[in-house]
Amino acid sequence: MSKMIETVAYLPLLLRASLVNLELLFALLVLGFVAGTSVALAQSYASVPARVAARAFEWIFRGIPALVLLFLFYFGPAQFGVRVSPFVAASVALGLRSAAYQSQIFRGALESVSHGQMIAARSLGMSRNRAIYKVILPQAFRLAIPGWSNELSAVVKDTTLAYAVGLNDIMRTARVIYDRHYELAMPALLMVALLFFVITEAGTALLAAAERRTRTPVVSIGEAMRTLR
């Protein structure tokens, strides 16, 4: 118990270090989102070469362990004389990996939007791209929220891997603490666990709020009746 009290003294330090994790989380999520939705759109709507490239990207970045990707992106450029900071390496590696998973989520969402929506848009004289942008995407985004929520919880925890390439994140700080006072290892790690729990819950709650606010059932009654016939 006294150990817990001692560790509390380090809380500000841990909190400040967790900001690094949050920065990394933000960077990798932005990259993941932009790349992920592009890959999903390419797989659903683009020409064959683009589709093949998208599929290959997804296959590679879902197949390689996160830690291995991190090392590849950190030590890899060094082979060519390019020095990459741990933060950049982690953002790119984890970002592209998240993109691969997000593209799956988003592609599922795109495909759940009923085909009648596209046909109706085209029947008005809308070009396919305009129809995708104005009719399909808004609905797909809403449908993707639950999947994104899962991805968020998974990826928040992955930010701790960046400690392996030297990022001064919360894990490194915890390590520094218990290297000096090994008896504080458990409390420090518990504190890290707690902080992550809070971050994950906050993120999930935010997405749940977004889902509630944009709740418009995206299956039309007519379509549902048709499938019942």
Partner 1 sequence: MSALLRVENLRKCYGDEQVLQSVSFSLDRGETKVVVGPSGTGKSTLLHCINQLTLPDAGTVWLADEEITRHGTSLDRIRARIGFVFQSFNLFAHLTALGNVRLGPMWVKRIGKPEATQLALRELARVGLESKADSYPFELSGGQQQRVSIARALAMNPELILFDEPTSALDPELIGDVLNVMLELSSNRMTMLVVSHEMGFARAVADEILFMAGGRIVEQGSPDLLLDAPQNPRTRSFLARLSVLEGAHQ
Residues that bind partner 1 (CB under 8 A): 114, 116-117, 119-127, 130, 134-135, 138-139, 142, 216-223, 225-226, 229
Q: Contact 167/27 with Cβ under 8 angstroms?
A: no
For the record, the structure tokens of 191 come out as: 């504190």
Cβ closest to partner 1, residue 16 vs residue 134: 134
Q: Contact 24/168 with Cβ under 8 angstroms?
A: no
| Residue 14 beta carbon to partner 1: minimum distance, rounded to whole angstroms | 42
Cβ closest to partner 1, residue 67 vs residue 219: 219
Amino acid (one-letter) located at 26: F
For the record, the structure tokens of 109 come out as: 């969402």
| Residue 146 beta carbon to partner 1: minimum distance, rounded to whole angstroms | 16
Amino acid (one-letter) located at 136: I
CA distances from 140 to 37, 103, 109, 201 (A): 10, 12, 5, 24
CB atoms within 10 A of CB 72: 13
Cβ closest to partner 1, residue 59 vs residue 133: 133
Cβ closest to partner 1, residue 2 vs residue 129: 129
| Residue 47 beta carbon to partner 1: minimum distance, rounded to whole angstroms | 19
Cα–Cα dist 79/70, whole Å: 15
| Residue 133 beta carbon to partner 1: minimum distance, rounded to whole angstroms | 9
